[in-house]
Amino acid sequence: MTRSASVLIMSAVFAASILTVPTAARGQTPATDSTASTPSTATPAAQTASDDDDGRLDLAEPDYVVINLPTTLRLPVHGGTFHLTHRFDGNLRDGSFSDQLSNLFGIDVGATIGLEFRFGVMRHLEAVVQRTNRSRAIQFSAKYDGWHQSEALPVSVSGIVSIEADNNFGANSGTASKNYAPALGVVVSRTIGGRYALYATPYWVGKTGTNATADGNTGLVGLGARVRVGGSTYVSGEISPRLGGFVIGDPEYGFAIEKRVGAHVFALTFTNGTSNTTYRQIARGGSPGHLHLGFNLTRKFF
């Protein structure tokens, strides 16, 4: 990817995230800070119905990922989201400042790009498909957001099942049957006062080996946090230590600065890997001695 093309993409994405603000809609209307709001006069039944609205804006949890790890944010029935991940290949920890400046902090070196779409199939159930240009991997997953934090339940819990394969899900590989990577996971979150969100994501991922015939499995626990530092500005971070099985490299980690504008969430990311957006890629870990500039962009359609 040329420098001019990369800069053009970044400019277009930033402009879209900042300037494109949809009209008020369910789940997209800006909400006031819960710590400063006046007491509600709604009846208990009405308050319960509002809390159980899958499309309602959650100030502490604006996106369906922390950086790479999933969150417990729910999706309304027949609602959809588009999610773009972009990780520049240049290593910010390699070379001098002048070297980094010469290739615009890795933007000139190329990028790993992921495209994802999710759809609300039925109440609390999301269907997700993601494709990344790294190994032409495609991942299909389903997420069930069955338990939502309330006065009676201190945490939200979502269950995830997925399967992925390289080479366009094996369409271009004679050994595709040996390259399917299933995954099972749970996301547990706790939000505090509309400002803080904490995440724990235990996962089992199969076929995490580095070639089509490898049978390694990996267990990991992703840990993440997000803090709202302004009305619609956030900082977030995550790390995914592996507990056992096939383990290479360092644990995947990253941190980001995020901005929510209407139905958009834009995040400027820094990660220790360029291909850590699918569950098998997360299980394989990050690259020792690496730090990569990138961004996420999410657009909600509900």
Residue 104, pLDDT score: 81
Parse the chain into domains and list their residue ranges.
63-87+113-301
pLDDT, residue 44, reads: 41
Q: Are 209 and 216 in contact (CB under 8 A)?
A: yes
For residue 16, the tally of other CB atoms under 10 A from its CB is 14
CA proximity to 279, closest of 209, 183, 157: 183
Mean pLDDT value across residues 13-28: 40
Q: Is the pLDDT of residue 28 over 90?
A: no
Q: What is the mean pLDDT of the chain?
A: 84
Q: How many CB atoms lie within 10 A of CB 153?
A: 10
The CATH architecture that domain 63-87+113-301 belongs to is Beta Barrel (2.40)
Q: Which residue has the higher pLDDT, 246 or 30?
A: 246
Give which of 144, 89, 143, 147 is closest to 116, Cα–Cα.
143
Beta strands in the chain (DSSP E): 80-88, 111-122, 125-132, 137-147, 156-165, 181-192, 196-205, 218-228, 233-240, 242-245, 252-261, 264-271, 292-301
The pLDDT tens digits of the residues spanning 156-190 come to 999 999 999 988 887 765 554 557 999 999 999 99
